[in-house]
Structure 1
């Protein structure tokens, strides 16, 4: 059978990769600056994110709700935010406060919009496939 959902698969992969590319770029900058611990931890975070994006792809678990599959990448996104705060000197150095968290709320929109949808919800009816 021909995969008719290649665009959705690419959207999942490249969408999440785009969400983590800044960690890899900053890791390269820190490597160039000689900040080895910051660089190595960013590379480790990037590699872990790539593995989670692949491992928890919805076509690997077609009956699992999207919100469950997104927990791993979202957790790593949270870890990358903590990593960024750490590598730039901590909360006090960045004027970070509780109001700064409001800017992160749009990141949670997919949890509401996708809610209980699964990969199989997007499959065409079997009688249409020839």
Structure 2
């Protein structure tokens, strides 16, 4: 147990030392207009280097991630059904699914699932 603690402390010390040495040795942190501009064969860029991002696409991506988390939370429900009291399992599962359906209804009601207005 002590050796694990010593190794954890040594790892923290080494990583902090490497970061401090990097900050000391990294002298070119001075920002320059030429360094921050995108390189396009020596010419000025024809368009903005940062294109606008669709907020609707971001919202759909977040909803997809939430859906993935919901699936990951629902997967252990079936194996635990045999190991627990059936009434308690049904109540817990019903409440969980009702919360998910309520969230889906809220997203639908707010128009978050409509791709085109």
TM range (shorter): 0.3 to 0.5
Tell me which structure has the larger Cα radius of gyration: 2
- Which has a greater percent of helix? 1
